[in-house]
Amino acid sequence: MVASIYALVSSIIWGTADYLGGRLTRTRSSLAVTGGSQPFGLIAALISVALFGSWTYSSQVAISGIAAGALGLTGLLAFYTALATGRMGIVSPISSTGVIIPFGIGILSGDSPHPIQLVGVIVTIAGVILASGPEVSGGAPIRPVLLAVYASFSFGICVYFMSTGGAVNAGMTVVTMRITQVTIMLTVALILRSRGGLQRSDIPMLVAIGATDAIANVIYAVAAGMGMLSIVSVLGSLFPVVTVLLAWIFDKERLLAVQYVGIGIAICGVAAITAG
């Protein structure tokens, strides 16, 4: 139960980070926002480790952190690029299916959820996809679809590596992730010789984005280290629902009928998982 609560909390914070990132990318490039927020995410991860006083390090933490960092970053950039060149109603639902990967790995690794939880998992995944506002008609360019598929794959494997590292030390796994991501983005900035148009006035928002994302990473990694990956990964995948709700509440964005249905279905799925 504790692991499930942590996973749900991570979804809420992740969804908040994505909402804040989405707002800033309206005026700044996604590459700049992603790169500019990473250092603050690293600082937040270091603070979390310092507070809990757990500096244990191992090869498993290093490998998991580096892999999760690289996959998570490239997946995010692919996702943002897909959104910029394709339709959100196609890109977002495809990207959200990445949760199927860690769920499958968890089952193959020996997880044995209660039958009610398995039903809840299926319902929750369907709800998340529907809440993303899928478009079921009209064609789509192949490039954003392929980018969304890659984003889905990379997010799913990233979550798996976070769980393997989280089983040893969640905080240091996220610190390693952030060091990897900061290094990649700093290299890109030096090659391009650009900061992407970011201004000093953007710093508070970048701090909020980086900190919330890193905190969500730590909480999720803790949850994955405590509970069944097949359950935790699904409960940790609800962030698109949170992002949609925040945009509805604060930006007055209108939701499609299918999104209301998806949100309701996802809530029912979560109830079934926790009841099981």
- Whether residue 23 has pLDDT greater than 70: yes
Q: 99 or 136, which is more confident? A: 99
Q: Is the pLDDT of residue 205 over 70?
A: yes
Please compute the mean of the pLDDT values over residues 93-110 and round it to a whole number.
88
pLDDT band at 86 (very low <50, low <70, confident <90, very high): low
Closest CA relative to residue 258, chosen from 91, 139, 140, 135: 135
Please determine, for residue 209, whether its predicted confidence score (pLDDT) is greater than 90.
yes
Alpha helices in the chain (DSSP H): 2-24, 30-52, 59-85, 88-96, 100-108, 115-131, 142-192, 203-226, 229-235, 239-250, 257-275
Predicted pLDDT at 139: 59
Please report, for the chain, the start and end positions of each structural domain, with discontinuous segments joined by +: 2-275
pLDDT at 133: 78
Residues in the chain: 276
Mean pLDDT computed over 12-16: 92
> What gap in Å lies between CA 205 and CA 23, rounded to an integer?
9
C-alpha span between 229 and 276 (Å, rounded): 15
The whole-number average pLDDT for the span 175-181 is 95
**What pLDDT does 136 receive?**
61
Burial class (CB in 10 A: 0-12, 13-18, 19+), 34: buried
pLDDT of residue 42 exceeding 90, the answer is: yes
pLDDT of residue 129: 87
DSSP single-letter state for residue 202: G
Band of pLDDT at residue 28, cut at 50, 70 and 90: confident
Q: Tokens in use for 137?
A: 């008609």
Rounded to whole angstroms, the Cα distance separating 196 from 178 reads 20
Distance from C-alpha of 135 to C-alpha of 248, rounded to nearest angstrom = 19
Average per-residue pLDDT for the chain: 88
The proportion of the chain whose per-residue pLDDT surpasses 70, expressed as a percent, equals: 95
pLDDT of residue 68: 96
Q: Is the pLDDT of residue 85 over 80?
A: no
Pairwise CA distance, residues 55 & 132, whole Å:
38
Q: Measured between alpha carbons, how far is residue 4 from residues 111, 222, 242 in Å? A: 14, 11, 16
